[in-house]
Amino acid sequence: MPATEIIFEVTEDKVDGGYSATALGYAIHTQGDSVDEIRRRVKEAVDCYFDESMLQPRLIRLHFVRDDVLAG
């Protein structure tokens, strides 16, 4: 049964700026300079990964991961 959704973990590069996105359970990775660009590039990466012989997930979920450091 094909997946109905695909989840990407999105992290912000604190040093160079921009964002990186990695699909959980799939070998799909992409990068973008802004949130709008990472959204567009994730859609493009999914379209490239799933060819016409494969069923694409109907939902793409972006999970933004942010590290907060608290001093003790």
The 10s digit of each residue's pLDDT in 28-46 is 999 999 999 999 999 999 9
Res. 1: pLDDT tops 60: no
Q: Which residues of 17-56 are buried (b: 16+ CB within 10 A; e: fewer)?
A: eebbbebeebebebebeeeeebbebbeebbeeebeeeeee
Average pLDDT score over residue span 43-68 = 92
Q: Give, as one character, the DSSP assignment of residue 39.
A: H
Res. 72: pLDDT tops 80: no
Res. 2: pLDDT tops 80: no
Which tokens hold the place of 32? 């973008």
